[in-house]
Structures are given as C-alpha cells and as structure tokens.
Amino acid sequence: MKQKIRLGILFGGRSAEHEVSLVTARNVYEALDKSKYNVELIGIDKKGGWHLASPDQLRLASTNVANAVLPAFTESLQVTPYSQEKSVVSTDVRQEIGHLDVVFPLLHGPYGEDGTVQGLLKLMNIPFVGADVLGSAVGMDKDVMKRLLRDAGIPIVNFLMFYRHEQDKISFKNVVDKLGLPLFVKPANLGSSIGVTKVSLEKEFEKALDNAFMHDRKILIEQGITAREIECSVLGNEKKTASVPGEIIPQHEFYDYDAKYIDTNGARFEIPAHLSEKQIKEVRELSIRACEALCVDGMARVDFFLDKATGKIYLNEINTIPGFTSMSMYPKLWEASGIGYAELLDQLIQLALENHN
C-alpha cells in the first residue's frame, strides 16, 4: 500500500483576513481524500500563537465568515527555525507533531500570504503549496506588483501610491486631476477587499483614506473605470496553465468583502464568462505572463477589468493564496475547466513536492 502523505494545513493568522482563512481551511480539509493524506491542522490565532486543532474545533471556528474565529487552545506550539526532520515541536509536552511531507498555507493577507511563512517553511526545509518567498511578497504588495506588471508591458489602470506620513498632504483635487472620478482607495498589502472604498465625492475622500491607512502604512488610489470584473485561475510551476475565465457580477456597488463572503446574494458568477475567443485568449495569456513576471509558481487567481466603453482589458491584481470557500472563484473556474475540487488539491500538493525537489 502506498504510504500516505503527511500534510499540514496552516490557517488563521494575524491579518484582517483571519476569518476567511478559517472557512477556506475547513473547505480544503473536508475535500481532501483521507485515503491519501494524514492531515495535521495547525491554526495561528490573531495574536500569532500557533496551535494544534482538531477537525471539530476547525468546524466550530469557521461556522461562517461573519464571526469565524480561532478558539482558545490549551496546547501551543513552538516552531523550530530549522529542522532536517521537517517537524514542529510542542512547548507543553516537548513532543514532536512529527515529520510533515508538505504544508498547505491557507493564510490570507499579511503574515501568511506575503512571504513570511513561506520563508519560515523554507528554513525548516518543508515543501509548501503555492508561490515561493519572492512571488508571495510581490503578489501581496499591490504597489510593487503593479510596477512590475507595468514594466512587463501588462496593462494596468492608473494609480498613485502614498505613505501614511503623507496623508495630510494628499490633495483630493490633485488626485482627481490625475485620475478622474470615481476613485478606489485601498491598502497596499491586504486582500478580500478589506479597507477598500469607492470614492465619487470629495466628502467621501478623507474617510476613505482613514479606512485604508487603518490597515496599512502604504495605500493605493486607483482610477475607477466602468468595467466588467473577469477572473482567471492559474496552475503550474515552470509549465503553467490557465483556466477558463469567469465573470463576477456584483449586486453591491462593487465586489466588496460582504459581497465576497457574507451576502450569499452579493454577486452572480458567469462561468465561463461571455467573452469573445480573442478576449478569452488575451485573459489566459495575460494571466500566465503576470505569474511569470511576478515569479509566482503553484497557483494564483488573476483579476481583470474589462472596460465597458473601450473593450480594453486591464490586470487588476494577482492573488497567490486564493480563497477555497464555497463562494470562491479559484476552484469554481478549475471545475469548469475539467478539474474537480479534490483533484485540484492533489495537483497543488504534487506541484509543491515537485518544486521543492
């Protein structure tokens, strides 16, 4: 009998996307073929403490995104900075959890999707699913990401970047002169539309800045265009493939956090998207080019704007740890492309092992 792969699922985390991570982890755990994997659930609480979790605790913690939270645990873990044994150690009983063949990080946002955990796992010599340290870091920082995409000749909407210490000097008039209205104000290092505000009037501007700076010391102000929202999933290391594109049709003013995770009627999905063959080809090619430009292997969800007035396609952002909830586009797009949820997880884990080797 083939030996099972010992898989660690890493979830929770210190970021504002903690709750989404719990729901993602539950979906992944329940979809994994337990005849192939021995699964260890490793949760990180909002203070940064590492804990062993049981499937029952994970289900309880992730009942719904609105109030999901990692509960208190009696046993905490100490993570060794380097180990040839690829293991994590318990501080309470000084017993190893044991050898881990591979880790599946399901940590959205800073302290998990930004290269920090990826660097730790590399030091521990443990293979992990998804982008490496560099790809994770540049994929998280929208400012750096967009500059690299621009240098690679990939079309993006116009944007400005500001640091927190510059907030008092940010002029609504100057910004509008450069970008027009409406505007989108967002933290540079966060996802799930947390901290994002659409601004159409001057009276909304200062509150939008405060909201974004509450989550990050660096923000982006982007040109708003009337556009369709198109997404594409990418899978692979050196040889990457792109899924069929899908379209998100928000029922809110834009595809915000509530529309993504709280309101089950917050958006409609068209999978595959109603696009011309030329547009489908362009979206898929740009998705792969973006991953190559940003050094992203394993998996990514790539988000686009399709300008309704001009038909031009702009790349909005890339997500190196996309959601795996029941409402998430990454697995939905692969399912429409012929790869089911469980098979997709198998492929991602194999890609992690191949990349490590």
Prediction pTM value? 0.86
Domain 159-223 has CATH 1.10.1740.10: no
pLDDT confidence bin for 288, thresholds 50/70/90: very high
When the pLDDT of each residue in the chain is averaged and rounded to a whole number, the result is: 87
Has residue 19 got a pLDDT over 90? Answer: no
CATH no., domain 139-155+226-356: 3.30.470.20
Q: Rg (Cα) of the chain, in Å, rounded?
A: 20
What is the predicted pLDDT for the residue at 109?
85
What is the predicted pLDDT for the residue at 238?
94
* 269, 271, 314 from 228: Cα distances, Å: 12, 14, 10
Which of the two residues, 47 and 133, has the higher pLDDT score? Answer: 133
Given a contact cutoff of 8 angstroms between Cβ atoms, the answer to whether 290 and 149 are in contact is yes
Nearest alpha carbon to residue 112 among 198, 22, 232, 210: 22
Percent of the chain past pLDDT 70, that is, above it, reads 84
Which of the two residues, 332 and 20, has the higher pLDDT score? Answer: 332
Top-confidence range, 175-179, 195-199, 251-255: 175-179
Has residue 253 got a pLDDT over 80? Answer: no
Given a contact cutoff of 8 angstroms between Cβ atoms, the answer to whether 257 and 193 are in contact is yes
In angstroms, rounded to a whole number, what is the distance separating the alpha carbons of residues 130 and 293?
16
Has residue 107 got a pLDDT over 70? Answer: yes
Given a contact cutoff of 8 angstroms between Cβ atoms, the answer to whether 185 and 159 are in contact is no
* 21, 101, 325 from 300: Cα distances, Å: 16, 22, 15
Given a contact cutoff of 8 angstroms between Cβ atoms, the answer to whether 163 and 149 are in contact is no
pLDDT single digits (tens) 201-239: 999 999 999 999 998 999 999 999 999 999 999 999 999
What is the predicted pLDDT for the residue at 95?
42
Which two tokens mark 257? 């956090």
Which of the two residues, 82 and 121, has the higher pLDDT score? Answer: 121
- Over residues 34-40, mean pLDDT: 96
pLDDT single digits (tens) 150-189: 999 999 999 999 999 999 999 999 999 999 999 999 998 8
3-state secondary structure of 61: helix
Task: State how far Cα 205 lies from the chain centre.
Answer: 27
CATH no., domain 5-128: 3.40.50.20
What is the predicted pLDDT for the residue at 338?
97
* 5, 15, 114, 185, 219 from 215: Cα distances, Å: 38, 9, 15, 12, 9
What is the predicted pLDDT for the residue at 61?
65
What is the predicted pLDDT for the residue at 70?
56
What is the predicted pLDDT for the residue at 90?
47
In angstroms, rounded to a whole number, what is the distance separating the alpha carbons of residues 189 and 220?
10
pLDDT confidence bin for 59, thresholds 50/70/90: confident
Domain ranges of the chain: 5-128, 139-155+226-356, 159-223
Residue 279 CB coordination number (10 Å): 17
